[in-house]
Amino acid sequence: MTARRSPLALHAVAALLVAGSLLVTFATGVEERPVALAFGVLVAVGELARPPGGPPLREAAPLGAAGSLAYALVGAHAGHPTHHGVAQVVTVVAAASLLGGVPQLARGEGPVLDHLVRRVLAVGFAAVCFQPLHNRGVFDGWSGPAHTLLLLALLVLTVLCDTVVVAVLARSRTGWPFAPTLRDELRGLPGIGSAVCATGAVMALAVAVVGLWALPVFSVPLLLTQLSLRRHAAVRATYRQTIASLARATEIAGYTPAGHARRVAALSHAVGRDLGLPEPELTVLEYAALMHDIGQLSLVDPVPDGATAGLPVAQQRRIALLGGAVVRQTGADARVAAVVERQADPYPEQPPAARIVRVVNAYEEKARGRGPGGPLAALEELRLGTGREYAPEVVEALAAVLRRTGAQAGVHPPASGPGGASGRVVAGDSWAV
């Protein structure tokens, strides 16, 4: 199945699941309406608390996710068995998630449809695994630790399946390779994934014993966490804008061409993801790529067209060290300054991020102003320089990214990239120049 057909299939399955659930719910009516309303409100509130334009991969609405999964695994209410089935669970969660996503839809922010698809598929999977067996009395003898472990096992399995869905959707939307994207999502599961699983299990167990009053009590910690994540996302966005503005200083001063730093940052992020760098290293890579030329501000005579790749090695290192000193004075992460300082070192001694910045910067400079054949010619020059100046694995990853995005033919890359602090593909920027 191709990357383009995969999300279409997921969207079709989610649409059929929602349509079928709506028909069944309208035909049979809503069971335990207070329970359905309470969980629906909880899910909607969790979705409304999402940060604007939230990240496309990480769970942006953990309270909504925990509430949805808890409703799918609720088997009793205040000591009385519940009888809502899979169709009602999917209907309530889909309606609440759509209602909570209205503000983002109105602002045109974020991949709302993909978010709704993953929510419906995850909840549908959990409900199918639990509700039919519960309604048949299979779990009647399960209590205490056994029931708790059952819910946790189902939640963990659901979150793992959801991770695969996220990776497929991201592969289609951004063009990122599937395997590195899946690895990056799996690395993030012990964080927000564990919080969602634990809260979902606690909610389901608490509602079964004490009733709906347990929902506001046990949702407050995760809601506060979600609001903190929202503030953190805003701070990271502001920080990145500050870094991007600082990086433009070389363009404003006439040392480098307009958009050079953004193009290098976008392409470096894509190459880093192709090489399987984890999210924290991708963030460092992006910031270092944005500021890789900042050392040119210390030069008395500007380098012609800002092209440092053709300078003598000693001069390249001097500019890199000057740039690292400037970055350190800005208060940026010391790892960013280290990458900027080491971008001119021999590649076997460089950290992966510095290798990537060096290769991508050289490609962008060599392809500039050489006409339609410039990108291919620049890539061949880089390949000839592997073993001496450029890391072979980085050059081949660059070639794979260019081939996948069509940039070698002068095609613009996608105008929307990942959110958060890591790589963004800026609309109108061409990697092929």
Over residues 177-200, the mean pLDDT reads 81
Over residues 184-208, the mean pLDDT reads 84
Share of the chain above pLDDT 90, in %: 25
Over residues 254-283, the mean pLDDT reads 88
Cα–Cα distance between 149 and 129 in angstroms, integer? Answer: 14
Contacts (Cβ under 8 Å, ≥6 apart) of 10: 117, 121, 165, 168, 169
Answer whether residue 309 is part of any domain: yes
**Average model confidence (pLDDT) for the chain?**
82
Answer whether residue 416 is part of any domain: no
Shared domain for 304 and 378, answered yes or no, is yes
Q: Is residue 356 scored above 90 in pLDDT?
A: yes
Q: Among the listed ranges 107-111, 131-135, 173-177, 235-239, which one has the minimum average pLDDT value?
A: 107-111
Select from 381, 7, 290 the least CA-distant residue to 171.
Answer: 7
Shared domain for 219 and 358, answered yes or no, is no
Q: Most confidently modeled of 45-49, 55-59, 189-193?
A: 45-49
Confidence (pLDDT) at 299: 80
Shared domain for 264 and 214, answered yes or no, is no
Shared domain for 62 and 140, answered yes or no, is yes
Is 110:54 a contact under the CB 8 Å cutoff? yes
CB count within 10 Å of CB 46 equals: 25
Sorting pLDDT into bands at 50, 70 and 90, what band is 432?
very low
The CATH number of residue 320's host domain is 1.10.3210.10
Answer whether residue 424 is part of any domain: no
Helix intervals (H) in 136-256? 145-174, 178-188, 194-210, 214-247, 249-252
Answer whether residue 418 is part of any domain: no
Shared domain for 197 and 319, answered yes or no, is no
Shared domain for 57 and 166, answered yes or no, is yes
Q: Among the listed ranges 153-157, 187-191, 204-208, 323-327, which one has the minimum average pLDDT value?
A: 187-191
362 conformational bin, left if phi > 0, alpha if psi -120 to 50, beta if neither: alpha
Shared domain for 187 and 275, answered yes or no, is no
Shared domain for 259 and 223, answered yes or no, is no
Q: Which domain, by its residues, includes 395? A: 248-409
Answer whether residue 240 is part of any domain: no
Sorting pLDDT into bands at 50, 70 and 90, what band is 16?
very high
Answer whether residue 79 is part of any domain: yes
Q: Is residue 427 scored above 50 in pLDDT?
A: no
Shared domain for 170 and 35, answered yes or no, is yes
Length of the chain: 433
Answer whether residue 242 is part of any domain: no
Sorting pLDDT into bands at 50, 70 and 90, what band is 248?
confident
- Which tokens belong to 350? 């460089």
Shared domain for 203 and 82, answered yes or no, is yes
For the segment 128-182, what is each residue's pLDDT rounded down to a tens digit? Answer: 999 998 888 887 777 778 888 888 889 989 988 988 888 888 877 777 778 777 8
pTM for this entry: 0.72
Answer whether residue 430 is part of any domain: no
Confidence (pLDDT) at 89: 94
The domain boundary residue, chosen from 235, 269, 286: 235
Shared domain for 198 and 315, answered yes or no, is no
Q: Is residue 240 scored above 90 in pLDDT?
A: no
Confidence (pLDDT) at 110: 59
Sorting pLDDT into bands at 50, 70 and 90, what band is 250?
confident
- Which tokens belong to 208? 């079964």
For the segment 367-384, what is each residue's pLDDT rounded down to a tens digit? Answer: 887 777 778 888 888 888
Provide the number of structural domains found in the chain.
Answer: 2
Confidence (pLDDT) at 414: 36
For the segment 324-354, what is each residue's pLDDT rounded down to a tens digit? Answer: 888 888 877 889 999 999 988 888 888 999 9
Select from 9, 11, 12, 36 the least CA-distant residue to 25.
Answer: 36
Shared domain for 209 and 265, answered yes or no, is no
- Which tokens belong to 342? 């080491």
